[in-house]
């Protein structure tokens, strides 16, 4: 896959991840400070139909390329790059929630431990569902995946009465399959003008986030939940908008710092289970780690 093609995908993925970070920072800032931050609420409400469907679609674009390696290697890759960081950061998230409840004298929500295996709660639900989508779609022939995509959108618009988590699962799976359909249908069939336009969809800062989006995604929430109360109560930053801006900045800074060391021996187990004989493929004069982010693996 050409570097130019990856640039536009990384830019869109990075934009979606930054939008997720902005949403969680807004929700936490409102919870801690009581400020409504209405312009942010308006923006996030209009981004809601875009953020997660876009991430799922972009993840599906590379499904067929991964399946071309064989189903066993495909599943093994997803275990390394999706299930493993989900398990690591879910353990961190659960430890925080359980200890916080115990220290505050509230009932400890032990049920969340069991739900992590079948109905992930909290901000990591995306990784759990993404892994499930790969398991569901991987064994299916391409024509079946296409038909299931069409049926999935019909089902998502026709089913009512589901609980919110189930409804969101049913709604997002067709977007993942749509990405797969686009990934199989578009190469070699894109008009030159469209290809040129796609190459221009490149915002270096967002593309940098997109190339390491799993790092930014898994680490941002621990930063947000501690940064907001620290800024508001500890450092007495009494401007909610400034609290939000600083929190987003700290989350992005933490993501960038961890992205810089994600392949180092002491850090890589936080983001992927190492594969044997890791090599660094070279394109032109640029080296790209084979530890691709889970959303583009």
Q: How far is CA 247 from the centre of its chain?
A: 19
Looking at residue 277, its pLDDT comes to: 54
pLDDT of residue 200: 72
Q: pLDDT in tens for each of the 297 residues of the chain?
A: 455 557 888 999 999 999 999 999 999 999 999 999 999 999 999 999 999 999 999 999 999 999 999 999 999 999 999 999 999 999 999 999 999 999 989 999 999 999 999 888 889 999 999 999 999 999 999 999 999 999 999 988 877 777 888 888 999 999 999 999 999 987 666 666 666 666 777 788 999 999 999 999 999 999 999 999 999 999 999 999 999 999 999 999 999 999 999 999 889 999 999 776 544 444 444 333 333 344 444
DSSP class per residue in the chain = --HHHHHHHHHHHHHHHHHHHHHHHHHHHHHHH----HHHHHHHHHHTTTHHHHHHHHHHHTHHHHHTT-HHHHHHHHIIIIIHHHHHHHHHHHHHHHHHHHHTTPPP-THHHHHTTTS--GGGHHHHHHHHHHHHHTTS-HHHHHHHHHHHHHHHHH--S--HHHHHHHHHHHHHHHHHHHHHHSTTTS-HHHHHHHHH---HHHHHHHHTHHHHHHHHHHHHHHHHHIIIIIS----HHHHHHHHHHHHHHHHHHHHHHTTSTTTGGGT-PPPTT----EETTEE--S---TTT-
Whether 272 and 291 have beta carbons less than 8 Å apart is answered as yes
Rg (alpha carbons) of the chain, rounded to whole number: 20
Q: So what's the pLDDT on residue 282?
A: 44
Q: Per-domain residue ranges for the chain?
A: 3-287
Cα of 190 vs its chain's centroid, Å: 27
Q: Which two tokens stand for residue 177?
A: 């399959």
What pLDDT is attached to residue 152? 93
Tell which residue, 213, 225, 137, has the closest CA to residue 178.
137
Which pLDDT value is given to residue 296?
44
Other CB atoms within a 10 A radius of the CB of residue 136 amount to 14
The pLDDT score that the predictor gives to residue 1 is 46
Distance, CA of 18 to CA of 55 (rounded, Å): 11
């Amino acid at each position: 896959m050409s570097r130019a093609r990856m640039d536009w995908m990384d830019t869109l993925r990075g934009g979606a991840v930054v939008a997720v970070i902005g949403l969680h920072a807004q929700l936490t800032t409102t919870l801690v400070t009581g400020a409504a931050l209405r312009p942010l609420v308006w923006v996030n409400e209009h981004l809601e139909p875009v953020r997660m469907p876009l991430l799922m679609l972009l993840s599906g674009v590379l499904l067929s390329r991964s399946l071309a390696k064989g189903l066993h290697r495909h599943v093994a890759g997803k275990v390394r790059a999706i299930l493993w960081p989900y398990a690591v950061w879910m353990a961190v998230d659960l430890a925080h929630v359980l200890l916080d409840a115990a220290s505050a004298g509230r009932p400890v929500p032990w049920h969340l431990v069991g739900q992590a295996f079948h109905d992930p709660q909290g901000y990591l639900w995306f990784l759990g569902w993404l892994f499930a989508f790969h398991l569901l779609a991987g064994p299916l022939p391409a024509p079946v995946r296409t038909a299931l995509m069409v049926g999935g959108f019909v089902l998502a618009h026709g089913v009512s009465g589901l609980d919110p988590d189930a409804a969101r699962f049913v709604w997002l799976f067709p977007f993942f399959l749509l990405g797969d359909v686009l990934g199989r249908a578009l190469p070699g069939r894109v008009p030159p003008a469209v290809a040129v336009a796609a190459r221009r969809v490149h915002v270096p800062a967002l593309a940098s986030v997109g190339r390491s989006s799993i790092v930014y995604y898994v680490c941002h929430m621990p930063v947000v939940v501690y940064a907001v109360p620290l800024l508001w109560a500890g450092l007495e930053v009494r401007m909610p908008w400034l609290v939000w801006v600083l929190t987003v900045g700290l989350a992005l800074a933490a993501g960038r710092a961890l992205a810089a060391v994600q392949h180092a021996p002491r850090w890589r187990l936080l983001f992927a289970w190492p594969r044997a004989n890791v090599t660094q493929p070279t394109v032109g004069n640029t080296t790209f780690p084979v530890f691709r982010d889970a959303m583009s693996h």
